[in-house]
Structure formats: structure tokens, C-alpha cells
Amino acid sequence: MSLDLLLPVVPPQNRKEYSSDQEVRWCPGCGDYSILAQMQKVLPELGIARENFVFISGIGCSSRFPYYMDTYGIHSIHGRAPTLATGLKVARPDLHVFIVSGDGDGFSIGANHLLHVLRRNVNVTLLLFNNRIYGLTKGQYSPTSLPGAKTKSSPMGTVEQPLNPLSVALAAEATFVARSVDTDIKHLGEVMKAAIQHKGASFIEILQNCNIFNDGAWDHVKDNATKKDNTLVLEHGKPMLFGANGNKGIRLNARTLQPEIVEIGNGLSESDLMVHDKDRSDATLAYLLSRFTFPEFPVPLGILRSVHKPIYEDGVTAQVQEAQRLKGKGDLSALLCSTDLWSVGTDGEENHTLTRNSPELTEEMLKGWTDGYSTLEMRATRKRCSQLRLEEMPQVASGASLRQALEVMQQRHTPSVVVVDARGCYASTLTSTDLLRVATLAPDLGAVTVEQVATCKEAYVTASSTLNQAFHQMGRLNLPALTVVDQDLKPMGWLTAQQAEAALAG
């Protein structure tokens, strides 16, 4: 039986179903409107259920995109949309994930994240809106702004060289790289559809106009009177022709190995021109095209590269499955509650120390168990402190003196005592370590209060805590006992390591 027959049938959809109830709030005349319209037009044509689409954005004008699509969406933080998209694809490879970014969001703070999502070949579609300006923050120059651009942050003109989005994507080994224009709706829709259907990291640079802060940045590729002479529309398997009369082309000079513009005629024909091949396994031709800059060369539009390589999430999933085959499914609870716990402290001279927390306790408890560590951890996870018979605990008020606290500790033969505040709530635990630290310095223990000395403020667990949580806290604080409190922090009793061990054994 064909796999297609097993897939759920998606009822016919239309653009309206992909339009959310949110008011679209871009500046009138912004190129983002056109990009949004094409996306809402293309998605219903794919035959994919609407709940399987997710749009993830960073910060910027383009990043409002998820609000206007009636699909799942995440408005993340500046430049980090690729990281969220990567995690989502690993967790849910079945989803169609889009990254929507601007030239500032994607190539400034998010440049490294963008590189990694492309080089890993995560199966996502990345839309980069390039208007060569920071629009949302009101007109500062961006990583793609041209040298000399006068903006609010460069009133005398920029002195930086811009990034070339296509060249960067190709250098990162993106398997699908294309460019389109916001106002060329037919071309933009075709490129979008091809990118979505591509299996792997798809990158589309969309030349987008910001009519408020950088109006006319792309007029040379949009003006009907000049765009045919200024753009090179790439078609797979066809010679690179352009021009208003279709009589100009790109030829590779055999002597210099450099591309050059020629006119058809006078002994030159289409057979002398370079032929576009988007399926080449290497990115040499695509990179050469990405370096075409106006006015020396026409601006390439279309799919520069479309090749197939292993998908990141497929590789991760395969490794997980192989690990489970070799080692079993694993136990997250056992991992989180293991006894291989360490504490970071200081030696009194601002030098950090690393101490392993009493593994002997668990090793002792493990003696005599025939079914091993996993069973023990299972019991420790299920057993709660409220189910145990707690010991009566020695306690003093926070205003009590150290002498009074020492007397209680001597009477009860305990190395610590629980300190409660005026409301009877847990305040801290006074340990013998606290006493020894102060005893040699204070001439009169009756003149020092407990609250001035007690340093351990976390030696407690709630009644609903599990035994493994209690063991973790004991190990972290290196204490043999903890105070169990109710939801109001009122002490209920004392839980010792011996009690916890007995509870597990029972």
C-alpha cells in the first residue's frame, strides 16, 4: 500500500483560514503585507493540516508575523528563533517550522544562531526580510546597510562593509538558498512553495521595502521600467538571459574564469552562456551568483541552490533509537535523583572547593537489595515525607541566646537545632558548626542570639516532598537531618537519614 494512502486527508483550505483575528499593524505601504499575503495563499495549496505549521520569530517588524498567521507560533527573543526552531524540530520532526527574521535580528545578534541552524541542515524554512535598515527601532543602520548609508546611528554615513545574506547562507552549507522580492507576488509564492517542500534547511532572502526609514532601497529591482535590465531571473537548466529585450546574458570568460555580461548576436548565441544548475552538489556556481552585485551585474532572483543532504533531526532521532537499543530506554527519575551529587563551596580564602556528598548513605541502603538501584529509586520517588513517622525535633526561638540553644542541643544529644520565628514558622537551622565558629570569638554566649549566627536557611523539605528530594537536600547541605514543614512553613517534625532508610526498607 502506498504511504500516501495512509496519510490523513486534509479538507480543502483557503487563505482566510490562515488569517488570524489580530489587526495587522505594520506601517501602511510596508512590504511585509505582501509577504504575509503570499504565505497565507501558499499554505492552503500544500494539503497540510493547519495545526502542523509553526512560525517562530525573534524581534523586529518581521517578528510580528506569527500573530497574523492562524497557526501555532512563538514570538521569541532577539536573534534566538533558530535555537527554538531546532529544539522544536528535534522534539516534533513532523511539524513544518518557519523562522521569520529581519536583517538586523538574523544577521546581528542572531548571526551565530542562524549559521548553526543552516549548517546542521535542520528541516526548517527561514524567511529573511532584508530592508537594509532597523525598522522597529526607528532607522539605525543594519548589518546589510550599504557603505555610506546615512541613518540615525550613522549621520555621516556608515563605514562598514555589509553582509551578503546569500553568500553567508551558502558558506554555512544551507541546502536550499533563494532570493525573491516582496512585490513580485507570483515569483515570491513559487519560491516559498519550493522552499517549504524542500527537505532540509531552506533560506529565502526577501528584498523588502521599508517605506518609512529606507524607502526605495530596492527600486532598481522593482521599477517596471528598469527591472528586466537589472535582474537575472534564474531558471534551472536554462541559460542565464536577462534584459528588456532578452538579449543580454552571463558568460564565463574562459581565460580569466570570471563571469561577464555579453549581448546575444555578432557570433554569440545562447549556447555560449552559463546554464543555471541549482542541483549541483557543490555550492561553487551558487556562490558565484550570490556575489553578483548591482550595478556591475544584475541582481539574481530565484533558487540558487537546492540539494539534498542528511537532516539534523533524523540523525539525532537515529542516535536516540540506537542508544535505547543498546542500553535500554533509560530512567530520567533515576538520573535526576542519583547520589552522584557535588557541592561547591569555599575554603575560607575565596578558593572554590568541590565536595562529593555522602555517597555512603545510598551504598548502605543498597545492601541486601536484589533488584538493584532502579527499584530503590522508584520507592524513593513514590514515598513522601508526609507518610513517615517523624521524630520530635528540638527547637528554639530565633531570639533565644546561643547559651540556651547549646543547652537544648546537649539535652537532646543532637548536633543541630531548629530555629522558629515569632509566628512559629521555620526560620533556619543552627548547627554545631555555627556554634564552633562563634564560640571562640564571643566572650558571652548569652549575649549572642541564634538568629545572628544560624547560617543554614534551607535545611527543610515540605511534607509533600519525596524521599529522593529529601536525600538530595541532605546531600547538598551535608546534613544528617532535615525539618519537615507544612504549606505554611510550620515545622511538623524531624526527618533523619536513619528514618528515611528505614522507610525505604519497609
Mean pLDDT of the chain: 87
- Rounded CA separation 110/76 (Å): 12
Say what the pTM is: 0.68
Q: Residue 369: is its pLDDT beyond 80?
A: no
- Compute the average pLDDT of residues 97-120: 96
Question: pLDDT: is 397 or 381 the higher one?
Answer: 397
> pLDDT band for position 295 (50/70/90)?
very high
Q: Give pLDDT tens digits for 116-166.
A: 999 999 999 999 999 999 999 999 999 999 999 999 999 999 999 999 999
Cell of residue 506, nine digits:
519497609
- Quick one: pLDDT at residue 5? 43
- Compute the average pLDDT of residues 278-286: 94
Question: pLDDT: is 486 or 455 the higher one?
Answer: 486
DSSP string, 442-481: -S-GGGSBHHHH--B---EEETT-BHHHHHHHHHHHT-SE
- Compute the average pLDDT of residues 228-255: 95
Q: Are 253 and 259 in contact (CB under 8 A)?
A: yes
Q: What percent of the chain has pLDDT over 90?
A: 62
Residues 6+ apart with CB under 8 A from 140: 133, 134, 151, 152, 153, 154
> pLDDT band for position 68 (50/70/90)?
very high
**Homologous superfamily assigned to 14-232+277-313:** Thiamin diphosphate (ThDP)-binding fold, Pyr/PP domains (3.40.50.970)
> pLDDT band for position 240 (50/70/90)?
very high
342-505 to CATH, choices 3.40.50.300, 3.30.420.40, 3.10.580.10, 3.20.20.10: 3.10.580.10
Q: Give pLDDT tens digits for 187-210.
A: 999 999 999 999 999 999 999 999
Would you tell me the crossing angle of helices 32-42 and 185-197 to the nearest 10 degrees?
50
Question: pLDDT: is 155 or 497 the higher one?
Answer: 155
Which stretch of 73-87, 153-167, 259-273, 342-356 has the lowest confidence by average pLDDT?
Answer: 342-356
> pLDDT band for position 349 (50/70/90)?
low
- Quick one: pLDDT at residue 69? 97
Q: Residue 455: is its pLDDT beyond 60?
A: yes
> pLDDT band for position 378 (50/70/90)?
low
Instruction: Kindly report whether the peptide bond that precedes residue 295 is cis, defined as omega within 30 degrees of 0.
Output: yes
Bridging pattern class, strands 416-420 and 426-431:
antiparallel
Question: What are the domain boundaries of the chain?
Answer: 14-232+277-313, 239-275, 342-505
* Look-up of cell digits 513517615: 388
Distance of CA 259 to the CA centre of its chain: 40
Secondary structure letter of residue 12 according to DSSP: P
